[in-house]
């Protein structure tokens, strides 16, 4: 049976919004001798290309590397030859799924919340707050243009908020609002600074649909309740899921657990 090891990106393969840890190149290459590799992330393809640039342009790993942006509601298959690039072969559309009226209502709610947060809290504001990715929405209260320092400032604000983690409180408020107006929408913590918003059922377990007949494994850093790796992590328990905290732990799991297991046949 074919094998595939699926990885979250930010916090698992890469530091948040940064390039792939170079220490992971060799372990991933060794893993590719035994298994296909997939990267499933809430981010869209542009961030995958930025953060995994070396793998996509200079490494033979690319021929075994499946790209699954927007929780796998988009799927780019690996190239077969040197002159080819990853090809989009599957894509979903959130606006079509929930309807234009519901989509417009959702966007208005997010804009209202962004205006409220911007007016009442001292946080960095950098622009590009709401990003529609066709199959998901990413909402970042400080803006996707934030520097590393501005991200760190917001993270400290988020976890140090007097009533509990700021983003968790916002999620609970929005869940209640969605429920009251019958919006069939999920909202999760996205990375360290944002929220991922999508139709219910379009969490990262969606990526598993592309690999029928495979033995599947998963590594992610947000596998806890409310994290955007929660559902896929639970779906592949008890033996095929690993919760990690950073790329260093990811390397350990690849080298000390997965490769020794796969090498035994």
- In sequence order, the β-bridge partners of residue 66 are 38
Using CA atoms, how far apart are residues 253 and 246, in angstroms rounded to an integer? 11
Using CA atoms, how far apart are residues 64 and 35, in angstroms rounded to an integer? 8
Catalytic residue check, 10: yes
- Helix ranges restricted to H, the chain: 25-32, 45-51, 53-58, 94-98, 100-120, 148-159, 166-180, 230-235, 247-253, 259-263
Catalytic residue check, 203: no
Identify whether the C-beta of residue 35 lies closer than 8 Å to the C-beta of residue 65: no
Which is nearest to 197 in space by CA: 181, 217, 183, 212?
A: 183
CA distances from 109 to 36, 116, 157 (A): 40, 11, 23
**Backbone phi and psi for residue 40, each to the nearest 5 degrees, phi listed first:** -115, 120
Q: Which residues are catalytic?
A: 8, 10
């Amino acid at each position: 049976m074919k094998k595939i090891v699926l990885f979250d990106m930010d916090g698992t393969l890469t530091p948040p919004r940064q390039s792939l840890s170079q220490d992971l190149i060799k372990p991933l290459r060794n893993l590719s001798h035994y298994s296909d590799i997939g990267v499933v992330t809430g981010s869209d393809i542009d961030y995958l290309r930025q953060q995994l640039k070396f793998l996509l342009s200079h490494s033979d790993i690319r021929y075994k590397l499946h790209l699954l942006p927007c929780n796998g509601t988009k799927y780019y298959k690996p190239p077969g030859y040197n002159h080819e690039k990853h090809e989009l072969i599957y894509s979903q559309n959130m606006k079509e799924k929930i309807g234009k009226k519901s989509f417009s209502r959702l966007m208005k709610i997010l804009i209202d919340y962004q205006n409220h947060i911007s007016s009442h809290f001292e946080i960095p504001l950098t622009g590009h707050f709401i990003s529609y990715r066709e199959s998901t929405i990413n909402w970042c209260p400080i803006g996707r243009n934030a520097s590393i320092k501005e991200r760190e400032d917001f993270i400290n604000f988020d976890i140090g908020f007097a009533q509990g983690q700021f983003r968790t409180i916002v999620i609970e408020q929005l869940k209640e609002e969605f429920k009251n107006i019958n919006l069939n929408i999920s909202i999760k913590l996205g990375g360290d600074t944002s929220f991922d918003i999508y139709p219910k059922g379009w969490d990262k377990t969606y990526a598993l649909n592309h690999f029928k007949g495979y033995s599947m494994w998963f590594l992610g850093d947000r596998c806890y309740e409310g994290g955007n790796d929660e559902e896929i992590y639970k779906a592949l328990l008890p033996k095929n899921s690993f919760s990690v905290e950073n790329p260093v732990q990811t390397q350990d799991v690849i080298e000390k657990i997965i490769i020794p297991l796969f090498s035994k046949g």
